[in-house]
Amino acid sequence: MTRQAVLSRLGTALLSAQPFLTFTVFLSIFQGVPPLWLSWLIALIPWPIRFCITGRFTCRTPFDIPILISTAGMLLGFFLSPDLQLSLPVLHTYLACVLFYYGVVNNNRARLGYWVFIAGFLCLILFFLSIWVFVGENGKQAVFNKWAYQWGASLPCPLSITPNSNVLGGVFAIVIPALVAITLSRQRAWIRWSTGILAAVFGGILVLSASGSGWIATAVGIFIVLLLRSVKLAGYASLAAGVTIGATFPLWHNADWKGVVFPVESLLYRVEMWKATIAALRDSPLAGFGLGGWWSKLPMYSPLGGPHNAYLQLYSDTGALGFIGFIIGAIVSVKLFYQILHSDKVNPYYSVASGIAAGIIAGGIYALVEVNTNVLIDMGGTYLYFAVPLLWLWAALLVVSCQRLTQDTLKADKQVPESVTRIGKRHE
């Protein structure tokens, strides 16, 4: 093999690894190794290589403008931040999420094995996160999930901190609808069986998390998947769910676990935080509080969780500029959803795109009562504020699946006149 061929393969491998290299930044933020400057060097290596090979740093995507505006809002929020100790990690991880998004989209022409590898990588993270939650006691414990926490107590804790069980609700509300959509699709049998098993396993973990908001958001996401596939299927599923709930009502209507899963006091507490946040934002309606400044402006509330509303937290961090970027991104998402609705349902990419779209909607619903974008965690006395890459992955997969769906539709449209012409010639 020639030297040029070796360099070419090495460059291709680095471009394929582009999304994964960005996770070195997260390792530096969480573990302190490797050094942050080295992590950024590793994360940025594929960009000049891509420019040398293709003549451009990245391909264009529908979310370029909202990402640019949101990044400007994050930078402005960083300069206005009253607490650099909180704002610096979230800025680094946010920029890493942007690189992660473009790394996934830049590999939009990759073969099936590449996407299976990404799915496997994600599943490993989700299983690790699930075990991590049940190892600790920082979650909702009810009669049906105490055994999971007892089992987790016998395991060593991977880190000195343990996330709240609501984290699982937010994660699986986004992931499970996509798995259900692929399971019901016309994909290869091994793909449908694999996603079906994963959907069942993750659904069981979601139930054990006792996250009421996660339950509701996931149910809405699955209903959207069924509705996009068939109105009758969605109707039958809703009827079956209603009958099941009604038939089992005498068994659970007085159960103690309802207060754990759907705590009314917690919801009322959230309402008070939302009112206090909106009132405080009136003093700085354009700039917000600065990145991570919510905890400085409203110290009377718990340091963890923030305002328990991702939209209020986004406005608090980035002000009107970041929120404008979000609104434009939402409009772009609606356009992509419209494109999915009017595409060929027989196309195997339709199920992938519709499932991802349903997951994003479910995540948006969950964001009304929890935060699934920038998260604050307790690192044993010190607090770490960082950006979560899951929604960035889903946005990238939405773009890739829509591109694949559009390309297949265009190919099909081009083949129709040829077939019509051949039939005409036969008749002649």
Residue 109 located in a structural domain: no
DSSP β-bridge partners for residue 384: 377
Residue 238 located in a structural domain: yes
Q: So what's the pLDDT on residue 104? A: 94
**Number of neighbouring beta carbons within 10 Å of residue 1:** 7
**Number of neighbouring beta carbons within 10 Å of residue 302:** 12
Low-confidence ranges of the chain (pLDDT < 50): 416-428
Q: So what's the pLDDT on residue 2? A: 66
Q: Which one-letter amino acid corresponds to residue 108?
A: N
Quick one: which of 210, 177, 208 has its CA closest to 195? Answer: 177
Q: So what's the pLDDT on residue 409? A: 57
**Number of neighbouring beta carbons within 10 Å of residue 110:** 15
Distance between CA 45 and CA 38 in Å, rounded? 11
Residue 252 located in a structural domain: yes
Q: What is the pLDDT of residues 65-111, one digit of tens each?
A: 999 999 999 999 999 999 888 899 999 999 999 999 999 999 988 88
Q: So what's the pLDDT on residue 24? A: 94
Residue 209 located in a structural domain: yes
Q: So what's the pLDDT on residue 412? A: 53
CB-count exposure of residue 284 (10 Å: 0-12, 13-18, 19+): middle
Distance between CA 197 and CA 90 in Å, rounded? 35
Q: What is the pLDDT of residues 382-420, one digit of tens each?
A: 788 999 999 999 999 999 999 988 876 555 555 544 443
Residue 230 located in a structural domain: yes
Q: So what's the pLDDT on residue 209? A: 92
Which domain, by its residues, includes 263? Answer: 117-427
The position carrying tokens 């099941």 is 244
Q: So what's the pLDDT on residue 414? A: 55
Q: So what's the pLDDT on residue 427? A: 35
Q: So what's the pLDDT on residue 4? A: 59
Residue 367 located in a structural domain: yes
Distance between CA 70 and CA 319 in Å, rounded? 10
Q: So what's the pLDDT on residue 222? A: 95
Residue 20 located in a structural domain: no
Q: So what's the pLDDT on residue 5? A: 61
DSSP string, 332-385: HHHHHHHHHHTS-TTSHHHHHHHHHHHHHHHHHHHTTTS--SEEEEESSSSEEE
- The SS3 of residue 299 is coil
Residue 206 located in a structural domain: yes
Q: So what's the pLDDT on residue 6? A: 55
User: How many domains are contained in the chain?
Assistant: 1
Q: So what's the pLDDT on residue 141? A: 85
